[in-house]
Amino acid sequence: MGTHSPDHLPSCVLATLRNGPPDDKWFFSPRAPRRPGHPISRSSCVAGHTGVECPGVQSFDATPQLLAALLDGMEAGLCALDRDGVITHWNSEAARILGWTAEEAVGRRGFAGWAARTADADEVRERLLGAMAADGRQVHEFALLTKDGRRVLVRTQSAAVHGSDGRPAGVYCAFSEVHAQIDLERSIALSEALFDDAPCGVVLVDADLRPVVVNAYAARALRTSRDAPLGRPLGDFLDQGVEELESALQHVLAEGAPPAPSELWVGLRTDGGTRCCWRSGFVRLGSPLGEEPVPLGVGWLFHDVTDTKVAEQEAARLRFRSNQLHRAALAVAECEEPLEAATCYVDFSLAGFAEHALLDVLAPDGVRLVRAAATPSGGAGPCLPVSGGIPVRYGEGHPALQAVARTGSVRAGFGAAAAEPASRAQVDSWASARRWPDGTVHGLCAVLRSRGRTLGVLTFLRGAGRHPFDRADAAFAEDVALRVAACLDLAPRA
């Protein structure tokens, strides 16, 4: 159950306290006898005398009972005093906090000698009754005594209750333990801070998986304002990863929060599909007003760790490639033929890097390229020597010829600027025009140089299921090309 602040009393309680039950001359005592000559009426509604006929319903004067039920159902202690300081009301929460039952409290004048120390009792009584002469509600903090003698610091809020003549007839005082009030204030302050200045994203999602509250960090991460996502599907803002996110939210609603944060890769629609990694945690929100919590939604907290994850991935990729080159060097040490050593480097470099590799060397004329080794075009396999020595018919402007001319690496790709995905026939046609295997969409050509001379070109190829070659890939290809060139050029000198 949640903790309610004593300054939020039900309006029906306040109205009853102000006007009093119609059967009673003095409004404070719910157990007072009915006014003489005013029997229970069958024409009064259950909620009290409203003047509305309820045919066929056996009604009763419920105002005192309703008032007592409301007061006992409150989650703040409440007591009422008449203008002389006599306690007339004492609800169950007040009895829980201080230990004094309603039978022990009602009818006492002030708190001296039982609920407050004698030295403090007069000040407590004066402050409470002073609310009758003040406008609005008065907030105070008092040290009261429990029945077992402990001192309890309570925060009170009191206000005058006026009689039918408009004059103050008494005062009501709602109170709760200060630590409970502070806990409530801290919870409210924490909620406000999370939804304003938190250093992480906070999104409150309802049971329909639509955001209802978005803090400033989350709005920046979504590349939108704080109000734009409210009530809209998550797919309106996320291009990739929305299925995984919605699945996680549904799991939390059904089963509760996962034991540990998870990392979700998502793509933003407003940023051209830019992929971000958000380390996310989830909490299920339930209503504190029911015995069994009813899911109100999910609190989604996340932090953008894209830079960290990209750095980790690059470091892992670099370690793997370095290990591959180290293993390749150990294998090359056992090769007797230079071409065998060169293809050994190519085979080790292909793992996790490309599907195909082509090794072309310069013909004796120093202009044309001759295929020396290649991987099978029909599927995966080792890089094997190619016999024949026939020059490859590369067209003008081919990436391999550009690499020779520039003495550097050249990247090429199909449809880099295409607005719509191409058909398989278009892809195969593009690859065939460049003398590459069918299905190739990305190519990287690295020149083979040793002792200041160009020896040929090493080409790596990727299919449609992989990303284009980037600068890190080009650097790795150049590293492999240097080793392959050394094998082709220096091994015969041994």
Question: What is the percent of the chain with per-residue pLDDT over 70, rounded to a whole number?
Answer: 83
Angle in degrees, CA 107, 96, 94, rounded to 5: 45
- Among 43-52, 90-99, 447-456, the range scoring the smallest mean pLDDT is 43-52
Looking at residue 304, its pLDDT comes to 93
Given pLDDT bands bounded at 50, 70 and 90, which one contains residue 492? low
Looking at residue 293, its pLDDT comes to 59
Looking at residue 457, its pLDDT comes to 96
Whether residue 124 contacts residue 111, with contact meaning beta carbons closer than 8 Å, is answered with yes
Distance, CA of 252 to CA of 232 (rounded, Å): 20
Residue type, 366: G
Q: Which tokens belong to 322?
A: 């370095």
- Among 200-204, 304-308, 360-364, the range scoring the smallest mean pLDDT is 360-364
Looking at residue 101, its pLDDT comes to 92
Distance, CA of 344 to CA of 209 (rounded, Å): 53
Looking at residue 289, its pLDDT comes to 63
Looking at residue 330, its pLDDT comes to 95
The 10s digit of each residue's pLDDT in 16-58 is 444 444 333 333 333 333 333 333 333 333 333 333 343 443 4
pTM above 0.75, yes or no: no
pLDDT at 474 over 80: yes
In angstroms, the first-to-last Cα distance of the chain is 85
The 10s digit of each residue's pLDDT in 103-133 is 999 999 989 989 888 888 888 888 888 888 8
Mean pLDDT of 80-104: 91
Average pLDDT, the chain: 82
Q: How many CB atoms lie within 10 A of CB 105?
A: 20
E strands, 306-452, are: 356-362, 369-374, 384-385, 410-413, 440-450
The 10s digit of each residue's pLDDT in 211-255 is 999 999 999 999 999 999 999 999 998 988 999 999 999 999 888
The 10s digit of each residue's pLDDT in 126-164 is 888 888 888 888 888 888 999 998 998 888 899 999 888
Looking at residue 288, its pLDDT comes to 67
The 10s digit of each residue's pLDDT in 414-443 is 864 444 566 788 888 888 889 899 889 999
Token pair 């380390």 is at which residue? 279
Residue type, 72: D
pLDDT at 444 over 90: yes
Looking at residue 19, its pLDDT comes to 47
Looking at residue 421, its pLDDT comes to 62
Looking at residue 193, its pLDDT comes to 82
Distance, CA of 435 to CA of 413 (rounded, Å): 14
Pick from 159-173, 305-319, 363-377 the range whose average pLDDT is largest.
305-319
Looking at residue 374, its pLDDT comes to 92
